[in-house]
Structure 1
Amino acid sequence: MPTFEDNPFSDPTIDNPFSDPAVQQVARSTTNATRGLDDYNPFDGQQNANQPTAPQQPTQPAIMQAVSPPSGNYQRPQQPSQQAQGAPPNFTTADFQRRQEELERKAEELARREAELRAGSAGRRNNWPPLPTFCPVQPCFYQDINVDIPLEFQRVVRHLYHLWMFHALVLALNIIGAMSLMFVDQGFTIFGLSILYFVLLTPFSFICWYRPIYKAFRSDSSFNFMVFFFIFLFQIIITLVQSIGFSDGGSCGLITSINAFKVNVAVGIITMLVTIGFITCVVADVMLLTKVHRIYRSTGASLAKAQAEFTTEILRNQHVQTAASNAAAAAVNAQIANANRY
């Protein structure tokens, strides 16, 4: 068995490094610093007695506190001022009432229009010409371009309506021009004829060419388009003759105006203004006739379609059906009477 060697530091003649006082002092300080760490056990659940402990605050479970009801002297919070709400500072009750009345009036108007649209054309109340309620003559037609006419045709229908009103205005001015001619001893015939033209042409033009074109754009009726083209062509011819102004023709045209300048300059100016009005009517008539014809051709309408539509409308007419049934009954009765006679 081998023998162990002796401690090499046991020999007093050899210097021991751990016997140095400086080394021993450092060793003692390190031992004191690490003594608390050596005694700490993380799994013990209790802190080391040498470590300082922070004071623990007592904990209590969360309890919902009951809210007491408001007392009798409870006051509601103040509403924000009108300035904070964005209302005008001087907005009074009268202003609110006036606005409410306006809204109610608009609501009634919308309800009336909606009822008219639901009821159809038969349930609408006539509104043209716009006559007062006390007048014994009531409106004869219903007209509302915004309701009846499609949106893409409303502009041209308005132009036609304004053209009809311009024709009526020129005929009224023609009466004034004829009256001025009568005052300078140019005869009473032109004045009487001017009144007759205004009384006849104004309503006839509305019924004979404006109402057909209104119905044509309202229901895409080829028959009404044909009626408009036929009557409106005569309208252009009559207006052209009036713009020429033959002597004793009843219109203050170009010839009448030139003769009036020889008698009185003021009368000549009045009649010349009427002549310019007639010429403007002719130009506007031709332009709108061309525009309506272009629209008519773009819709694919034709003369055959107008004839078929006319036949259908005639057969649907209640008066025509009644007359046809009466004629057929009379023919049958005549045949029976003849058969009984023989």
Structure 2
Amino acid sequence: MSKYTSFPDPMEDQNPFQDPAVTQHSSNTEYATLDLYNPFEGTAEPPPPYEATSPSVPSMPAQTPPSRTTPTQPNNYGSYNTHNSQPAVNATTTELMKKQEELERKARELERRERELQSHSLGSGASRQNNWPPLPSFCPVGPCFYQDINVEISQRFQRIVTLMYYFWMFSTCTLAFNLISSLAMFCIDTSVGVGFGLAILWALLFTPCSFLCWYRPAYKAFRSDSSFNFFIFFFIFFAQVVVYIIMTIGIPGWGFSGWIVSLAALKQSIPVGAIMMMNAILFTAQAAVGVFMLKKVHGMYRQTDASFQKAQAEFATGVMSNQAVRQAAASAATNAAQGAFTASR
């Protein structure tokens, strides 16, 4: 059927843009383009030839390249400044670490107190290690007492017990200084050897006796609200205050570097007299603080439930609970019964 048509053979590769009509029209530059040709005009003249004009490019003003921000320039991203916030973050971290260390220390202290209280709640049979006096491990004599004000004393009495302990230490140091001043006086006047010997005796006697006779009763009184220990403390500490006043006076030959002995020593040697005057000032302060502590403890005693009746009951209970006293009473009762039986026969 291909002989009746003018279509090309489909096997032939023909380019439609190579058609002679298209190529002839494209190559002819004497005809204007369709947008310039108006067929409704009455002129018979052909349209003007088409002239290809190059589009004019408007001239652009010279522009400077945009400036780039260097890394050293600070960037403002608002009110939040990372440079200023870094020290604040460091300070907050340090404060949190300090608080954490303080909380850990308090936790360890509470754990230690809990263990101590648990051991105390077991009664007298509970094992607790003595810690006073604090002697080195190589010493053949160990501590004799257990003392811990923060554990055994209630919160409102801890301050007064601590003051009593410091006052005992101050009295011990005053007696040691009295020994030094008496030695200095003995070096310039050998006739006061008796006073120097008594100063040694007072230092060796009052140091342990004051701890056992009035500090430990006060400690036990505030620890267990013991009326009996309160009365022991008042009786002995009042006598101790009287002795402090005698020390302050400084009677010659009694071994105390008080005011009388110090004023007399100034006539013999000014340096020795000055040392003894310092000792007299310490004795005066000791007597004044002793009177103050006596009144202070008495005021604290009135805030407790202690009374004379309770002291009598505690004394009776303590005496009857003592094994030696009970054995002595039993033996005395037995002997009395045997004597009565023998006499009746």
- Scaled by the length of structure 1, the TM-score of the pair is 0.65
Given candidates 290, 294, 308, the residue that maps to 1:289 is: 294
Matches within 5 A, 1:148-167: 148-167=152-171
**Equivalent position of 1:175 in the other structure:** 179
Number of positions where the alignment pairs a residue of Structure 1 with one of Structure 2? 244
- CA deviation string 1:282-323 (max 9, x = no partner): 111111110111111222432222222212221222211111
List gaps (5 residues or longer) in structure 2. Answer: 1-91, 95-104
Distance 1:152 1:334, change over 3 A: same
Structure 2 equivalent of residue 221 of structure 1: 226
Contact 2:258 / 2:277 at 8 angstroms: preserved in 1?
Answer: yes
Distance 2:296 2:334 in 1: 48
Letter of the 2:194 counterpart: T
1:98-113 to structure 2, matched below 5 A, reads 113=116
Deviates more, 1:106-115 or 1:158-167: 106-115
Aligned runs of 1:1-342 on 2, under 5 Å?
113=116, 116-123=119-126, 124-186=128-190, 187-338=192-343, 342=345
Q: Secondary structure at the residue paired with 1:140? A: coil
1:111-135 C-alpha deviation (Å, 9 max, x unpaired): 8636533444553222111112221
Q: Which amino acid aligns with 1:113?
A: E
- Corresponding residue SS for 1:249: coil
Alpha carbons of structure 1 residues 166 and 298: separation in structure 2 relative to 1, 3 Å: same
Deviations for 1:240-280, whole angstroms, at most 9, x for unmatched residues?
10111111110110011111111111111111111111111
In 1, Cα distance between equivalents of 2:329 and 2:110: 48
CA distance in 2, matches of 1:119, 1:309: 21
2:331 corresponds to which letter in structure 1?
A: N
One-letter code aligned to 1:313 = G
Structure 2 partner of 1:41: none
Question: RMSD of aligned C-alpha atoms?
Answer: 2.8
Q: SS at the partner of 1:188?
A: helix
Residue deviations 1:130-181, cap 9 Å, x none?
1122212221111111111111000000000110110000000000000100
User: 1:108–1:150: structure 2 CA closer, same or farther, 3 Å change rule?
Assistant: closer
Any stretches of 5+ residues in structure 1 without a counterpart? 1-85, 89-101
Contact 2:113–2:151 under 8 Å retained in 1? no
**Distance in 2 between residues matched to 1:146 and 1:203, nearest whole Å:** 23
Whichever residue aligns with residue 304 of structure 1, its letter is: Q
Please, which moves more after superposition, 130-139 or 326-335?
Answer: 326-335
Q: Distance in 1 between matches of 2:111 and 2:306?
A: 40
Aligned residue identity for 1:177: S
The residue type equivalent to 1:174 in the other structure is N
Distance in 1, Cα, partners of 2:281 & 2:207 = 19
Taking a change above 3 Å as real, the CA distance of residues 303 and 264 of structure 1, as seen in their structure-2 partners, is same
Distance 1:106 1:211, change over 3 A: closer
**Whole-angstrom distance in 2 between the partners of 1:136 and 1:324:** 38
Tell me, in whole angstroms, the C-alpha distance in 1 between the residues paired with 2:323 and 2:146. Answer: 21
User: 2:330, 2:219 → 1: CA distance?
Assistant: 32
Shift of residue 338 of structure 1? 4.4
Take 1:292 and 1:268, find their aligned partners in 2: how far apart are those partners?
A: 36
Match of 1:138, SS state, is coil
* 1:189 maps to amino acid: V
Summarize the Cα distance change of 1:114–1:232 in structure 2 as closer, same or farther, 3 Å threshold: closer
